[in-house]
Amino acid sequence: MATPKIKELEKIPNHSIGIISLIVILTIGITVIIASHKLAPSPVKTMSSSHLNQTQPTIATTDPTKTPIRPTYDSKGNPPTALGLVMKTRAFDTEPSKVVYITIDDGPYPQNTPHLLDVLKNENVKATFFDVGKQIEKYPWLLKAEYEQGHSIGNHTYSHDYNSLYKSPDTFLADIQKNDNLIFSLLGIHTKIIRAPGGTSCFNIDYYNSLDANDYMAFDWNMDTKDTEGELSIQQIVGNVDKQIGHKHKVILLMHDLPNKSSSANALPLIISHLKEKGYSFGTLSPKIMPITFPEGFYKAGAHS
Ligand SMILES: [Zn+2]
């Protein structure tokens, strides 16, 4: 049985053996190339990691010690990172896909706070009032009205005095605690959401550490009515908001209930209707909402960091 096969092999001409040898050599060569390619770093992997970096523009490595600075919480609630920064991990609520948090700062004032409360009631929208302690002392009934109408109460410091507040993290914290205790004496709640006068751009790392150690959370904003920039008309205020909406899925809107800001309250129904038309719902701030904060403070080392 084996003989015919040997004969068949003997029949194979010499040039065919050469071709077969060439095929075998080529096959081995290609296999070696593929194997060495697999061992080398994959170009696809490199592209995907650079793509990840592009989708996280908040991550910077400008710190000379190479400590990565991330001035935001991540999607799992892990805190911002920077050299010397020690903040807690948080559990945040899932938010609607398009949501606006209206925040009203600097009151209460009898000239505008009741008007704003009426507008919000008519529109069936809840907001967050960041109140100032020295105003609360003068008009405690307005704080109570805000709270009883279902709005969120935030702490905008007792004094609102930049000189004393930004002397040190300790003076800032003491002022916040003074207002916290005042609000507690009137409402029986400790509000843990704060807004720094001027925003957290005035902070350094020690301010975040000090506030976080005392469970406070700072909220800045990403949309500004600019109603503190002179006497604006209703149309100018509404225009300022319309210009900034863009494609934001989450908005923290800054406005004020200072005595000379009647146009802010008058503009609010139009602002709300424009935002509703664009598909936004309205929410109130709490420690369960991931904050929006300015990045600047995370790049400033403190005395203890
Ligand atoms: Zn303010």
The predicted pLDDT at position 229 comes to 86
pLDDT band at 177 (very low <50, low <70, confident <90, very high): very high
Ligand 1 centre distance from Cα of residue 243 (Å): 23
- Global pTM? 0.78
* Catalytic residue list contains 105: yes
pLDDT tens column, 20-48: 454 545 555 444 444 444 333 333 333 33
Paired tokens of 186: 């009137």
CA of 160 to the centre of ligand 1 (A): 7
Domain residue ranges in the chain? 2-39, 60-299
pLDDT at residue number 1 = 41
Q: Which residue has the higher pLDDT, 18 or 88?
A: 88
Name the most confidently modeled range: 8-12, 44-48, 51-55, 105-109: 105-109
d(CA 229, ligand 1 centre) in Å: 13
Q: Find the 136 Cα to ligand 1 centroid distance in Å.
A: 14
**Mean pLDDT estimate for the chain:** 84
To the query of whether residue 160 is one of the catalytic residues in this protein, the response is no
Query: What's the count of helices (H) and strands (E) in the chain, helices before strands?
Result: 11, 8
Cα(156) to centroid(ligand 1), Å: 7
Coil, strand or helix at 131? strand
pLDDT tens digits, one per residue of 66-102: 678 999 999 999 999 999 999 999 999 999 999 999 9
Three-state DSSP state, 251: strand
**Residue of 170, 256, 274, 304 marked catalytic:** 256
The arithmetic mean of pLDDT across residues 195-199, rounded, is 97
Query: What integer pLDDT is reported at residue 25 of this predicted model?
Result: 52
User: Partners of 99 in the beta sheet?
Assistant: 250, 281
CATH architecture of 60-299: Alpha-Beta Barrel (3.20)
Portion of the chain with pLDDT greater than 90, in percent: 72
Which residues are paired to 129 by β-bridges? 104, 153
With pLDDT > 70 as the criterion, what percentage of the chain qualifies?
78
Which residues 6+ apart lie within 8 Å of 254 measured at CB?
Answer: 103, 105, 221, 223, 224, 225
